[in-house]
Amino acid sequence: MVRYEEDGRRYVSLAGLRMRGWSGALVHRLLGPPDRLSIDPRARAAPQVRLYRVERVEAAERGEEFRAGRAPQAHGPEEHP
């Protein structure tokens, strides 16, 4: 998961949410607006990164609405034995 740490809190980006099976509609419905907007450290001229607190994301992922509506999870090479 693409994670950021700012102001002493842990955040996950929208890209990180998508890697965990979140669709845009689920993000909008279950999380709403981002908790923080931040400059992309890899491309400062890029649009701001939308960040969501990890605690809120994990709480939503435990809910039935997320499990019923999530997209198939993408697996990276590091997740395969």
Work out the percent of the chain whose per-residue pLDDT is above 70. Answer: 83
State the average pLDDT over residues 27-48: 87
**Residue 57 falls within a domain, yes or no?**
yes
Give residue 45's domain range. Answer: 3-72
Angle at the Cα of 22 from the Cα atoms of 2 and 42, rounded to 5 degrees: 25
Q: pLDDT higher for 74 or 58?
A: 58
pLDDT at 38: 87
Contact yes or no for 14/49 (Cβ under 8 A):
yes
Contact yes or no for 56/12 (Cβ under 8 A):
no
**Residue 68 falls within a domain, yes or no?**
yes
State the average pLDDT over residues 22-41: 91
pLDDT at 17 over 80: yes
**Residue 78 falls within a domain, yes or no?**
no
Helix, strand or coil, per DSSP, at residue 63: coil
What SS3 string covers 16-59? HHHHCCCCHHHHHHHHCCCCEEECCCCCCCCCCEEEEEHHHHHH
- For the chain, the domain total comes to 1
pLDDT at 2: 61
